[in-house]
Structure 1
Amino acid sequence: MAIYHLEAKMVSRGAGRSAVAASAYLSCSRMLNEYDGVQHDYTRKQGLVWQAVFLPDMAPVEWQDREKLWNAVEETEKTKDSRLAREFVAALPIELSRQQQIALLQKFVREQFVAEGMCADVAVHDTDGHNPHAHILLTVRPLTETGAWQYKTEKEYLCVKGGEERGFTAAEFKSAQAEGWEKQYQYKVDKKKVYMAPSQAEKCGYERVSKYPKSTKYGRQNPISARWNSEEHLLVWREAWATAANRCLELAGHAERIDHRSHAARGLEERPTVHEGVAAQALERRGILSDRCELNRQIKADNALLRELKAELKKLSDLVVHTVSAVAERLEKLRGRVLIFCYQLSHIRAGRERYQDALHVYRPQMARYNGLVRQIKDKSRERK
């Protein structure tokens, strides 16, 4: 059945990866990385179903050749730990036909990535016919209107003016300098190195010890790159994939739906399974137990036990509900009888009080009557 899986990861030189190698893998092709001269050959890899390159309007047309595209990325990134590309791996709903899966993927890539200005290298893999998934390789550096690469981060100089410190880029500093802002350099003050403006250092006669001005540690990030790299935008992409897949499932007449939220966010008590991966499944097919597969089996057994316990608890709850309603009905009847009995007792108690008041009135007369009766009896005995 349809499952939600959208894994996001970075292709970085710092992790020993290459954008050219990642593209060669997803397209099952042979490509030469001109940055380090390594040729990556994945022509023997099986399971490639469909592949395409999507470019925004400002990108050069020759980048339709994925080898030229990713070599251009490798050439632009200079540092040994540069982030070269962003990769998404998405599970395609198995209920959809192949044409529907590809149409879903194309629409999602164009709306969410190409419309933002990214170049996208996309492929669909399905080795055994039961695990259709898409690889989406995206550029991380924005493009200008002429198709040139923009900066990801720009150096930001910390300048001072009247005791206030503020950051300026190289382009901003030209106008800020006219307003009196100065860069700060290191000067030797006694045995310490202190950052200060050149005008202040000249007054005190300090000697400059470094030609590099004071700047922020990481510089100022491109606002477009900052949005692409934010956690909030990743959540937007995850939700957009679930929405697009559910829309296609609905149009195709399927009742299955996927949800991008976690079990905790959805209020589910069951534990989620972990991603097994091809390596773990290959071990299992060879009869070797994999830790990930064994963990998933335990999680599934725990979830089955949890569902069984919840079903038993529901039965007990229903029984208690029915029992409580019957007990409550009987208690209500008994309560009505008790109320009537209490009313009768109160009525009898009021009548008793009235009778006692009447007895207080008639008691002297009764005593006199009893005395007369005794006298009559005594006279009758005497006469006899």
Structure 2
Amino acid sequence: MAIYRCEVKNISRGQGRSCVAAAAYRSASELRDERQQITHDYARKTGVEHAEIVAPDDAPSWALDRQSLWNRIDAAEKRKDARTAKEVLVALPRELTLAQQVELVRDFARTEFASKGLVADVSIHAPDALDGGKQPHAHILIATRALEADGFAKGKDKSLDQPQGIEAIRERWATHANRSLERAGLEQRLDHRSLEKQRIAALQRGDEIEAIRLDRAPEPKIGPVAAAMVRTGRSEEAHAWRDASEVRKDRGWRDRLAETLRTVQAKALELGVEIGSKARQLAEAAKSFLDLPEVAAAGQALQWREAENALRQRQDSQQRARKQTLSRDWKGFSR
């Protein structure tokens, strides 16, 4: 499922970081840092699917050469603690192909940065995820000064220095990503707001089912280093992965629950019954049945009689009591 993530970070000399080294690592290339006289060679780095420089239309040729670009950017800063670049890190929808991901990130970089005179160095990484799939994401390194005819502007671009600017770019990333998902014919959509804000908005518009789906903990981030440690059995990181897995499991459960409740709601509307106010009661009653594959299959096909028969076949007394609660609620909705 598509996951939202958009973070803004600083590349700062004060933190012992080099924009040349950052560009070399993210693009899996070899770059020479002329100021420090150090060569950063990451040409053998794996997992980098694509790298390109997105520059303004009138950019000079040197701005399209990674070696020249980042050394000139570095030379433009005189302070020993200077922030030499910004980085925007975004998660890419797995559901998109690599070509679609490249188009998405390129359009985002061109619209939000290059159009304002800023050069963006884009790299798409797709390391292995612990669930067996890929973890596609993009690193967008951005110059802190706009290009000018003879180099860089005297003043820095500060659009990503303030909370409102960061919130704005987070919202625009969601807009770009959702446009790409729509063009690809996919139903998934991303939302830059916190889960709590999304839940409150759902309640305000009367969507109790969506509020139930959103009433969960945010998914913790497990970075590539921690993921590698999990694979080697490092206990602390393994605990973190298990915690993240529990959150993902809860998210999956709530997604299935919402899908089931919407199916029930659609069936109820056919019968002229409004169930919005009782959605949470029905959710609690249905909770113990959602992991039963025969019930899920029957429910998805609206085979209510088959689903009811599948439940009856469960002889456990606790399951039977919960089934009776679900049956009573359903009868109440049908009146």
Q: Secondary structure at the match of 2:151?
A: coil
Shift of 1:292: 2.7
More strand by share: 1
Q: Partner letter of residue 154 of structure 2?
A: Y
Residue 183 of structure 2 is matched in structure 1 by: 251
Gaps of 5+ in 2: 200-213, 258-279, 287-321
Describe the superposition over 1:166-199 as per-residue Cα deviations: whole angstroms up to 9, x where unpaired: xxxxxxxxxxxxxxxxxxxxxxxxxxxxxxxxxx
Shift of 1:91: 1.5
Residue 15 of structure 1 is matched in structure 2 by: 15
CA distance in 2, matches of 1:64, 1:29: 14
**Equivalent pair of 1:275/1:292 in contact (CA under 8 Å):** no
Gaps of 5+ in 1: 153-221, 327-384
Describe the superposition over 1:253-288 as per-residue Cα deviations: whole angstroms up to 9, x where unpaired: 111112111111111320001110011111111223
CA distance in 2, matches of 1:81, 1:67: 22
Residue 109 of structure 1 is matched in structure 2 by: 109
Shift of 1:303: 6.1
Describe the superposition over 1:148-180 as per-residue Cα deviations: whole angstroms up to 9, x where unpaired: 32233xxxxxxxxxxxxxxxxxxxxxxxxxxxx
Matched, 1:283 2:283: no
Q: State TM-score, norm by structure 1.
A: 0.60
Matched, 1:131 2:135: yes
Q: Structure 1 pair 323/253, CA: closer, same or farther in 2 (3 Å)?
A: closer
CA distance in 1, matches of 2:230, 2:333: 52
Shift of 1:323: 6.4
Shift of 1:127: 3.2
Q: Secondary structure at the match of 2:147?
A: coil
CA distance in 2, matches of 1:100, 1:114: 20
Residue 49 of structure 1 is matched in structure 2 by: 49
**Equivalent pair of 2:119/2:146 in contact (CA under 8 Å):** no
Q: Partner letter of residue 152 of structure 2?
A: W
Residue 293 of structure 1 is matched in structure 2 by: 241
CA distance in 1, matches of 2:124, 2:187: 24
Q: Partner letter of residue 148 of structure 1?
A: G
Q: Structure 1 pair 322/102, CA: closer, same or farther in 2 (3 Å)?
A: same
Greater gyration radius: 1
Shift of 1:228: 3.6
Q: Structure 1 pair 266/62, CA: closer, same or farther in 2 (3 Å)?
A: same
Shift of 1:296: 1.6
**When the two structures are aligned, how many residues end up with a matched partner?**
254
Q: Structure 1 pair 99/292, CA: closer, same or farther in 2 (3 Å)?
A: same
Q: Structure 1 pair 52/321, CA: closer, same or farther in 2 (3 Å)?
A: closer
Q: Partner letter of residue 141 of structure 2?
A: L
Matched, 1:59 2:5: no
Describe the superposition over 1:200-244 as per-residue Cα deviations: whole angstroms up to 9, x where unpaired: xxxxxxxxxxxxxxxxxxxxxx6xx23342222222211111111
Q: Structure 1 pair 75/282, CA: closer, same or farther in 2 (3 Å)?
A: same
**Equivalent pair of 1:59/1:147 in contact (CA under 8 Å):** no
Shift of 1:318: 9.1
Shift of 1:147: 4.0
Superposition CA RMSD, Å: 2.8
Q: State TM-score, norm by structure 2.
A: 0.68
Shift of 1:2: 1.3
